[in-house]
Amino acid sequence: MRLLLVEDDAMIGEAVRAGLRQEGFTVDWVRAAEAGDAALKAEAYALLLLDLGLPRKSGLDWLGELRRRGERLPVLILTARDAVADRVSGLDSGADDYLVKPFDLDELSARVRALLRRQSGRAEPMLRHGELTLNPATHEATYKGEAIALSAREFALLAALLERPGAILSRAQLEQRLYGWGEEVESNAVEVHIHNLRKKLGAGFIRNVRGLGYSVPKTP
């Protein structure tokens, strides 16, 4: 899952990015609303983490602009403003959730997961497909009743495919979701991960549609 973090405080930005990466998210971090705009145009993000106290343009103003423009991605506000009125105006400006600083990394990832779940129309926290179960909170996977070991990238790739069974994701789309800015991507990285997953789940689990990309069948 690729997330965009807009936070002007260097220490907080770095720590949030590091923490969310450990949870298997891909995080791009910018320090102002203008840079956020540019990032949103260039990449597809699953969620926006937004600090309100940004230089020049406040996070709230920018959020209002985004929503007026029809931007639909889920937005989680991270802010030091904890008054009820601030929360209300934050949510009314179009945020989906509101987290007050200082916050806990575990709570932040849980809220991010919940927002993503809701976004994909699921209420159930587990990702299930036939006999495969993925737990996004713990990164545990079981297949046919047995736990299987998946690397963080393998897990993220599988989760991306399971989110919308039947839909085809291109190699570029998968790369985009797996790697943030400045991360080294080897040209055949996605193929390698797919190969490893097929070894663990059986060759038929992930289909390759030649020239288009990969998918898991709608009905297992």
Partner 1 sequence: MTSSIRGRLLAWLLLALAVAGLLIGYGAYYRAQEDLNELLDYQLKQLAFSLSHQSVGTEPAPPGLLLPEPDFITQVWDKDGVRMFYSRPNLEIPLRARQGFSNVAWNNESWRVFTQLDGFRIIQVAHPVRLRQEMAADLTRRALAPLAALLPLLGLGIWIIVGHALRPLSTMSSAVRARTPAALAPLPQDNLPEELVPLVGSLNDLLQRLNRALETQRQFVADAAHELRSPLTAVQLQLQLVKRAGSSEERDAALERLEHGVQRSTRLVQQLLTLARQDPQHGEVHTAVDLDQLAREVIADFEPLAQRDSLALSLESDGPVHMRGARDSLRVMLGNLVDNAIRYTERGGITVRVRSADGQAIVEVEDTGAGIPAEERSRVFDRFYRMPGQSTGEEGSGLGLAIVKRVVDWHGGQINLASGASGAGLRVTVSLPFGNS
Binding-site ranges for partner 1 (CB under 8 A): 9-12, 14-16, 18-19, 22, 31-32, 55-56, 80-81, 101-106
Strand 132-135, strand 140-143: pairing: antiparallel
Q: How far is the CB of 75 from partner 1 (least distance, A)?
A: 19
Residues 47/135, Cβ–Cβ less than 8 Å: no
C-beta of 55 vs 217, nearer to partner 1: 55
C-beta of 14 vs 92, nearer to partner 1: 14
C-beta of 114 vs 152, nearer to partner 1: 152
SS3 assignment, position 50: strand
C-beta of 155 vs 205, nearer to partner 1: 155
Residues 6 or more apart whose Cβ sits within 8 Å of residue 13:
5, 7, 29, 31
C-beta of 19 vs 130, nearer to partner 1: 19
Q: How far is the CB of 39 from partner 1 (least distance, A)?
A: 16
- Report DSSP letters for 91-112, one per residue: HHTT-SEEEESS--HHHHHHHH
Smallest Cα–Cα separation from 40: which of 75, 86, 12, 13?
75
- No. of H helices and E strands in the chain? 8, 11
Q: How far is the CB of 135 from partner 1 (least distance, A)?
A: 18
Q: How far is the CB of 24 from partner 1 (least distance, A)?
A: 13
Q: How far is the CB of 183 from partner 1 (least distance, A)?
A: 17
